[in-house]
Structure 1
Amino acid sequence: MDAPTKDAQPVITGPYVGKVRIVATMKPIPIRIARCIPSTISNEECYQLAVVACRNACIAMDVVRHRLDAKMLERYLKPELIRRLLTFSNLLHQSRPKKGFVRDELRHMPVVPQHIHGLLVGPETYEVSVCFSIGDSHYWANIVLQVERGRWRCSLLDIG
């Protein structure tokens, strides 16, 4: 997604609250976007960035679970973030027994987003928190998107 331009756009100050459907077969989930600063970045762009961040968080969790290849994230994440995800994945799979945690729920159940919170903290910094579930367990992903060479790119992704 392209970065904001400095052309005359209206300044937006208020929050945006709505629902988003991440996958066509899934029920809509709540999304809330707030701002620390007035900005010319539209609610629609913030909404789209939050959806992209949510998708990347879900893909990242599937990479950690060895369900998807990390190459799917190369366009959106910095290389050091992908290395951190792969290290986390290796530690997770080495430390858990083959029965139970890795083999059953975490390994086989789908990642289901529950809600998304976006916060525009600066003209070129946007933070997104995504709550998702895998089976009966809930997890959070925190994502920081920053403008890099005219495009929004993930500079931090933390799953826990």
Structure 2
Amino acid sequence: MEYSGFFRGTYQYGPLPSYDGFIVVELSDRPVRYHIQPTFIGGLNAKECHSMAMAACRIACTSADAIRGKLSVAHLNRAMTKPCLDRLQTMQYLLGIHMVTHPELKAKFCYLPTVPTLIDGMITGKDTLEMAVFMTIGQENLRVNLKLKYIGSRWMCIYADLG
């Protein structure tokens, strides 16, 4: 029996559909675009992706304000796990000490609002989502990487990297 060409063309490979949209942020003069790409079939739907983009933007902006000393890290108690909060608290402390000796950096970084410009995400598992929030503080660009995990009955940030 001849099998050559029998299996050719039976599987269709193509990119999974992404979830794209806009969220409205108070301090931005235009809507913030988001793009979330799943890595498997299933998972979050378009409405949930919109909600996760808003949540990631809120966590990123609040985290940036917290490390600059504008807000307490306690504002993120319900959104972040304890180890993540502890690391953010340490970063707030170290940045605060650094700003005392560098007033020009403090003037450039600490007084202006955070304005998100783009949110990019990837659904990496049924209960895991990784987001990158691009924002500006004055003329400075800032990127906040977040890893969100569904714990119990809500999405919690288990990793936050600001830089």
Class of the TM-score when normalised by the shorter of the 2 chains: 0.7 to 0.9
Instruction: With the length of structure 2 as denominator, give the TM-score of the two structures.
Output: 0.85
Alignment match, 2:87: 84
Give yes or no for contact 2:135–2:143 (8 Å, CA) kept in 1.
yes
Count of aligned pairs:
147
Task: Between the two structures, name the one with larger relative contact order (CA 8 Å, sep ≥ 6).
Answer: 1
Q: Is there any run of 5+ residues in structure 1 with no aligned partner, and where?
A: 1-12
How many angstroms apart in 2 are the aligned matches of 1:126 and 1:100?
A: 37
Q: 2:116 aligns with which of 100, 110, 113?
A: 113
Is 1:17 matched up with 2:20? Answer: yes
What displacement does 1:88 show? Answer: 0.9
Q: Residues 66-145 of structure 1: matches in 2 within 5 Å?
A: 66-96=69-99, 97-102=101-106, 104-145=107-148
What displacement does 1:108 show? Answer: 0.2
Is 1:153 matched up with 2:163? Answer: no
Identity %: 27
Q: Secondary structure at the match of 1:100?
A: helix
RMSD over aligned Cα atoms: 1.5
Q: Secondary structure at the match of 2:40?
A: coil
Q: Is there any run of 5+ residues in structure 2 with no aligned partner, and where?
A: 1-15
How many angstroms apart in 1 are the aligned matches of 2:29 and 2:54?
A: 14
Q: 2:51 aligns with which of 48, 52, 59?
A: 48
Alignment match, 1:32: 35
Instruction: With the length of structure 1 as denominator, give the TM-score of the two structures.
Output: 0.86
